[in-house]
Amino acid sequence: MANIIDGKAVSAQVKENIRIEAENLKKQGIEIGLAVVIVGNDPASQVYVRNKEKACEAVGFNSYKYALDENTTEQELLALIDKLNRDEKVNGILVQLPLPKHLDDKVIINNILPEKDVDAFHPVNVGKIMIGDYSFLPCTPAGVMELIKSTGTDITGKKCVVIGRSNIVGKPMAMLLLHKNGTVTICHSKTNDLPKVCSQADILVAAVGKPKIITADYIKEGAVVIDVGMDRDENGKLCGDVDFENCKDKAGYITPVPGGVGPMTIAMLMQNTLTAAKQQNGLLEGQSEKSADGKDRNMWNKLFLHT
C-alpha cells in the first residue's frame, strides 16, 4: 500500500500560515480582498466558487462575489473587470472558467490587471512563469509541487511525466518541474505508447480529464503519482484520472480524489491573493531582487526551497 498524500492536511497548513500573515497585516491596517466573478449557472463552477469564498473566510480575507447572468455581454463583463481593476479593496480578481460559449476567455483575461491576476492566466504572468520569475504561481501546478515536496522527494534529475498539455495545468506544470531540475516529458492524446512512457516516470502527474484511465501498467514501482483529474465515474461519483484502487499498491505515494490536488489549488489561490496584497501595499520590494544565480526568487524561494 502506497503512502496516501493528504491534500486536505497540507492545504490546511498552508492556509494557517496565510491566516497568520493576514492577521498581522490587518494589525497594520491592511485588509485583503479577493473578487470572484462567475457567469451563468454551471453547477461545478458554483461549487468551486463556494470553495474559494470559504477559503477566504478561513484565512481572514474579504471576498466579493459577482454572480452574473448567463446572458451577460462581453461589454458588461469588461465593465465589471474595469471597476474591479480600479477598486483598492480588491487585491485579486478571478473569473471562474469555463465561461458561457458566447464569451471569449482570452479577451476577458487580457483585461484583468496582471497585478491582480491571481490565477496567473494573463499573458504577462504566463510569460513570467516561463522564465522562472514567479510573482504569481499557477495555482494547480503550484499545489502539485507542494504535495510532491510533502513526500520529501527531491525532483532534481528525476524523470517527470505530465499527461495533459492545457495552458492551465499541463504546460505550467511542466515548467515548474523543469525549474526544479526534473527531466520532463509532456504527453497528450497523440502520444505513442502512453503506458510505456508513463511507466518510466519517477513522478507522474495526470491531468487528462478521463475517469480512471491510469491503471497500474502506467506506473513505475514506487513512483509519486499525482492525480489532477476531477471526473465522474460510471455511477456519477467524483473520481480522478487515476484508478486509485488499481494503482495504490504499486505507487510509492499517491493522491486521492477528492482530498488531493483540489484543496491545494484553493490554498495556492489564497497564497497568490496574499502576494497581490503585499505587492500592492509596497511590502515585497526587498524580495523582488534576483538571487545570486538570478533564477530562484520571490514566491519560488519561499514556497519550494525552505518554507
Catalytic residues: 52, 96, 119
With CB under 6 A as the contact rule, the residue among 40, 114, 172, 262 that binds ligand BQF is 262
Q: List the one residue out of 305, 290, 274 whose CA is nearest residue 145.
A: 305
Cα atoms in the 13 Å half-sphere on the side-chain side of 20:
5
Q: Which amino acid, 214? A: I
Q: Could you give the string, one character per residue 25-64, with x where binding to ligand BQF holds by CB under 6 A and - elsewhere?
A: -----------------------x--x-------------
Judged by CB under 6 A, does residue 259 bind ligand BQF?
Answer: yes
3-class SS of residue 5: coil
Judged by CB under 6 A, does residue 230 bind ligand BQF?
Answer: yes
The answer to whether 142 and 268 have CB atoms below 8 angstroms apart is yes
Residues 272-301 that bind ligand BQF (CB under 6 A): none
Instruction: Give me the least distance between CB of 50 and ligand BQF, in Å please.
Output: 8
Judged by CB under 6 A, does residue 265 bind ligand BQF?
Answer: yes
Judged by CB under 6 A, does residue 100 bind ligand BQF?
Answer: no
Compute the chain's Rg from CA coordinates.
Answer: 19
Instruction: Give me the least distance between CB of 95 and ligand BQF, in Å please.
Output: 10
Instruction: Give me the least distance between CB of 9 and ligand BQF, in Å please.
Output: 12
Beta strands in the chain (DSSP E): 3-4, 33-39, 62-68, 92-95, 159-163, 183-187, 203-206, 224-227, 231-232, 238-239, 253-254
Residue with Cβ nearer ligand BQF (244 or 298) = 244
Residue with Cβ nearer ligand BQF (244 or 278) = 244
The answer to whether 229 and 205 have CB atoms below 8 angstroms apart is no
Binding interface with ligand BQF (CB under 6 A): 48, 51, 230, 257-259, 262-263, 265-266
